[in-house]
Amino acid sequence: MLFSSNVFLYLFLPLCMLTYFVVPRKLKNFVLLVFSLVFYAWGEPKYVLIMLASITVAYITGIFADKSRYKEKAVLKARFAMITAIVWNLGFLFFFKYTNLFIKTANDIGGFGIKALEIALPIGISFYSFQTLSYVIDVYKGEVRPQRNILNLATYVALFPQLIAGPIVRYQTIEEQLTQRKESFELFSDGVRRFTFGLAKKVILANSAGALFEELSAMSNDKLSVTAAWLGIIAYTFQIFFDFSGYSDMAIGLGKMFGFEFLENFDYPYISKSVTEFWRRWHISLSTWFRDYVYIPLGGNRCSKGRHIFNIMVVWSLTGFWHGASWNFMGWGVYFGVLLLLEKFIWGKGLVKTPKAVQHIYALFFIVLGWALFAFDDTDKLINNLKNMFGLGGLPLINDMTVSKLLSFAVMFIVLVIASTPLCRWAGVKIKAKSTVAFDAVQTLAILALLILSAAYLVSSSYNPFLYFRF
């Protein structure tokens, strides 16, 4: 189920809230778990079993990964439990996500003619595998105590706000909240604010930008222009940010409504002045996960320069590959790995001495170019689009179609740019300093307006009038 669907907003969520706030404290986690399982099963019921299996494995290995239960010499048992969890989670992730890619690649190279497996990717598996994995590793490291109540652990893994698109919530973040949280008007209303902003980001901004990208990327070269190729990828740049961060906002907001506080996942990534800064602001829960569970265990930067470079490249290849079963995602990760190394060792120091505007343009150029690698999993299309962007496709610089699109999306682009920056927040602070009442009124009305507008945009996707009656 998606947050941005009518079923979620006007059926699932009301029922879930009603039940959750009516039942006594003891049953609240159970209610959340049941609703989360329904939420998960909505798209593909059978994959609930896989998630339940993962939860069970995490529960058992978690208990046995706790070193404190063993005498000194038996800590190997804890290590074994942790390795079991790693093998299980990565094994499942690889099997469901990457098997067909490897089969296809082997066929392309060796012509083996192996049949692709009929497996669909269980939704959210990339997220919950990482969550259960980090839980068991943290237990092993002694950073958290194992969860003895399987219902609580299952609630953590399956918790529907963050289940299918993150943020990757670490067990240590909500360990205490699982058993001792307190819902309040303060948290709930703050959750409403976050959820509403996220919903509007997704259904108004991301979908509008996405429609432009879809249209332009489906056009054949004879209709395109160089400007249109850039316009398309810039639209994609906005789409992916508002889609993804909107989803994180909705997750964080829903969490708050039920008394949970997750960590932030995005921090205005497009105002970055370098690629390094971009990755501190983009999908924070993923980059910190890779930092803590891959980069640091590999030795991080406390090693030789060669090893350090190796560590960085491993982390960024994996980060890229995590995004999807296609080589262009790994290419995208490697691209950022190389850029980060260049900033670290070659031009990073020089960059900070240039004017701020130059730094912003520099960072945005490489971010947007990165999305050009990310957006197409078809290599021919990817190369064709890159050629078009850099004027190697023999396209005109601009044409009537491009002008038409620029005209009709101009205002939308202004809105997208403003929404990508902390401008609204800054304006809010200014208003609040002058009058708290005015600020409260503006914010409350904005929430109401955005909710209604989001409902309008949501309904428009199915609005489909016919000139002639359809039988």
Partner 1 sequence: MRIKQQVITFIFLAFIFGFAIVGLVMKDREFSDMENRTLAQSPEVSTENILNGDFQSQLESYMSDQLPLRDKLYSMKVDIERLMLRSYQNGVYFADDGYLIQEYKESPQTLRNVQYVNDFAKKVDVPMTFMLVPTATAVHSDKLPAGCLNDDQMETVKKVQSQLDEKIDFICPYEQLKSAFNGVENDDVSPVFYRTDHHWTAWGAENGFYALMKELGKEYDSKIIGNLDYHTINAEFYGTLYSKAPSAVQKADRFMAPTHNGGVYSVEFAKEQEDPHTLVGMYDLTKLETKDKYATLFGGNYSRFTIHSDVGNDEHILVIKDSYANAMLPYLATVYSTIDVVDMRYYHMEEKTVSELVKSEGISQVILLYNVDFFNSDNNFLWLD
Q: Which of 280, 291, 285 is nearest to 318 (CA)?
A: 291
Who's near 245: CB < 8 A, 6+ residues apart? 198, 201, 265, 266
The angle formed by the CA atoms of residues 268, 284 and 455, to the nearest 5 degrees, is 60
> Nearest distance from residue 212's CB to partner 1, in Å?
11
Who's near 271: CB < 8 A, 6+ residues apart? 281, 360, 420, 421, 422
> Nearest distance from residue 346's CB to partner 1, in Å?
43
Cis preceding-peptide flag for 297 (omega within 30 of 0): no
| 3-class secondary-structure state, position 324 | coil
Distance of CA 182 to the CA centre of its chain: 27
> Nearest distance from residue 191's CB to partner 1, in Å?
9
Binding site for partner 1 (CB under 8 A): 1, 5-7, 9-11, 13-14, 17, 42-46, 185-186, 188-190, 192-193, 195-196, 400-401, 403-405, 407-412, 415, 440, 443-444, 447-448, 451-453, 455-470
Distance of CA 224 to the CA centre of its chain: 31
* Distance separating alpha carbons of residues 139 and 92, to the nearest angstrom: 21
What are the tokens at 64? 């046995």
- Nearer Cβ to partner 1 (109/452): 452
What are the tokens at 198? 């996220």
DSSP string spanning 233-268?
HHHHHHHHHHHHHHHHHHHHHHHHHTT--PPP--S-
- Nearer Cβ to partner 1 (211/294): 211
Has 360 been annotated as catalytic? no
> Nearest distance from residue 45's CB to partner 1, in Å?
6
What are the tokens at 260? 């949970």
> Nearest distance from residue 127's CB to partner 1, in Å?
21
- Nearer Cβ to partner 1 (28/405): 405
* Distance separating alpha carbons of residues 40 and 161, to the nearest angstrom: 11
- Nearer Cβ to partner 1 (10/102): 10
- Nearer Cβ to partner 1 (76/411): 411
CA 213 → CA 235, 311, 386, 406, distances in Å?
6, 35, 15, 12
- Nearer Cβ to partner 1 (48/382): 48
CA trace torsion 451, 453, 456, 460 (10° rounding): -120
- Nearer Cβ to partner 1 (257/284): 257
* Distance separating alpha carbons of residues 100 and 20, to the nearest angstrom: 41
- Among 283, 308, 323, 360, the active-site one is 323
Query: What's the count of helices (H) and strands (E) in the chain, helices before strands?
Result: 22, 0
> Nearest distance from residue 398's CB to partner 1, in Å?
12
What are the tokens at 433? 């300093």
> Nearest distance from residue 463's CB to partner 1, in Å?
5
* Distance separating alpha carbons of residues 457 and 238, to the nearest angstrom: 17
Active-site annotation, residues: 323
